Amino acid sequence: MAGIPGLRPVDDPASRDRFLMRAFVAGGTLLAGGALVAGLPRLAASAQSPARDAEIFNFALLLEQLQAAFYGEAAERAELDAELLGFAKVVAEHEREHVAYLQTALGSAAREEPRTDFGDATTDPEAFAAAAITLEDLAVAAYNGQAANLTKDGLRAAATVVSVHARHAAWIRSIVGMPPASQPVDQPLSQAEVAARLEESGFLQEA
Amino acid sequence: MTFRDIPDLALADLDRDGAIREAVDRLERSSRSGFLSAAAGGMAAAMALGRPTPAAAALTRGDSAILNYALTLEYLQDAFYTEAERKGALAGPAARLTRVVGAVERAHVKALREVLGRKAVKRPFFDFRGVTEDPPSFVRTAVAFEDLGTAAYKGQAHRIESREVLAAAVGIHSVEARHAAWIRYIAGSAPAAEAFDEGTTKAETLRLVRATGFVVARPRTTVAKTPSFTG
């Protein structure tokens, strides 16, 4: 919490990690592998549970992996202008941290890396910005859409990630001169809606 | 891209009266004694916030307290941006942000008040001591408010009992984060400094708000007839 003096984290990352480890160990093996959206299992309409947390976070992992791959490729190809490239590098690191966090928490249940194809979206400034906005807004809507399905501890963990995606979304809009936030509330999306938008993006390839 | 550091809010030299403490005490008294359920038309917020309105859902006492805490912070933000817009000392990106974010914060206040109904805590008095007229101070303070708003909602999400209230709260939480990144960009500060954002407890949040001295017991320019904190 830079910018606010005297703030200390309520739950430090170490305890957050311990929680997620417990949750996912309890959840057992769920949906390993199978990156393609078409292969995603539908969430049962069940009460919150560590097992359901694991399903939700394994789906979130796909979004994080896709973003990490996207920004990582943009940073590596380094054809964007300085400001966009700087954004891509910082955000790539955040997404890698999100991926590592979820992978560690999910253990052997963690899905495999998806195969991706971003076309010119990692080199063309307009395509890059449009893709970044889509992916960040999608992540915000996806986490928000699952908030009520997570256990309390799962929600605490997700909340530390979702606002960082919201920050990314406002940041890239600021860079390209779009209004960063004009709605009073972010609308959630169901997992099926998120999956449909991922398919529309064309960024995920058949394994 | 390089970012410069933003000096922290000068909290210590602004402290005064612990007025937010009074506001919070009032808030807690009012939610304890509010025998009329804030049935609230489910999320009446819904209307203002553009989401479907669930059937009337009585708020639990815990949810009422959380929403009133959120309302207190939204009052603060609403007053801050509304005053800045009225004073007209800002220009360019900061002025645009003030118009847009001010409208959003007013919508949050309206929505929360509708949901809480008679349980809604009253609007405190504020004295921003010239911060809304001084662009550098305005920007620093806005960064602090938006980061704090994000952290405060985050710190409460897991305590919320109603699914409808939670859905609205998380949707507001991420909007506050967007605001934080926006004003940080304007300030030349890292819009997203860390991979994980941490929350604050209610006690921490209120201690920080109290320390600003922006919440006062009575209007600055009017002599209140009663000494009590009545909003």
Q: Tell me the CATH number at B29.
A: 1.20.1260.10
| % of chain B beyond a pLDDT of 90 | 68
- CB-side exposure of A42: number of CA atoms within 13 Å? 5
Q: Could you tell me the two tokens for B67? A: 């929403």
Q: Which of B76, B77, B98 is nearest to B87 (CA)?
A: B98
Residue A104 has pLDDT above 70, yes or no: yes
* Residue B225, domain member (yes or no): no
Residue A11: pLDDT over 90? no
Mean pLDDT confidence for B208-225: 78
The pLDDT of residue B36 is 21
What does DSSP assign to residue A153?
H
B182, pLDDT greater than 60: yes
Residue B184, in any domain of the structure: yes
- Average pLDDT value for chain B: 78
Query: Which residues lie closer than 8 Å to B223 by C-beta, 6 or more apart?
Result: none
Region B119-134: mean pLDDT is 95
In this prediction, residue B5 carries a pLDDT of: 40
Nearest residue on chain A to B151, judged by CA atoms?
A1
Could you tell me if residue B221 is inside a domain? no
Distances (CA, A) of B230 to A115, B65, B79, B224: 60, 18, 17, 10
Q: Which residues contact B222 (CB under 8 A, 6 or more apart)?
A: none
Residue B7 lies in a domain: yes
| Portion 115-174 of A in contact with B at CB < 8 A | 140, 143-144, 147-148, 152-153, 155-156, 159-171, 173-174
B136 Cβ contact list (under 8 Å, min separation 6): none
Q: Is residue B230 part of a domain?
A: no
Distance from CA of A61 to the nearest CA of B (A): 15
At A44, list the tokens: 């049962």
| Ordered structural domains, chain A, with CATH | 13-26+49-108+117-205 (1.20.1260)
Structure tokens at B188: 């030349």
pLDDT of B220 higher than 90: no
Residue B224 placed within a domain: no
Cβ-defined contact of B199 to A4 (cutoff 8 Å):
no
Give which of A26, A118, A25 is closest to A65, Cα–Cα. Answer: A118
Full domain range(s) for residue B172: 3-190+198-216
In the block, tokens 């974010």 appear at B101
How many structural domains does chain B have?
1
- Range from B5-9, B114-118, B145-149 carrying the lowest mean pLDDT: B5-9
Q: What average pLDDT does range B138-157 have in this prediction?
A: 96
Nearest-by-Cβ selection for B108 from A8, A152, A184: A184
Instruction: Give the separation between CA B82 and CA B123, rounded to whole angstroms.
Output: 14
Distance CA A86, CA B191 (A): 12
Q: What is the pLDDT of residue B50?
A: 46
The closest CB to that of B48, out of A3, A160, A184, belongs to A184
A162 closest CB neighbour out of B174, B180, B201: B174
B12-24 b/e (C-beta count within 10 Å ≥ 16 → b)? eebebebbbebbb
B82 in any annotated domain:
yes
**Is A188 close to B101, i.e. CB distance below 8 A?**
no
The per-residue pLDDT for B121 is 95
- What are the two backbone dihedrals, phi and then psi, of residue B42, each rounded to the nearest 5 degrees? 55, -130
Residue in the structure block whose two tokens are 């941006």: B81
- The more confidently predicted of residues A34 and B206 is B206
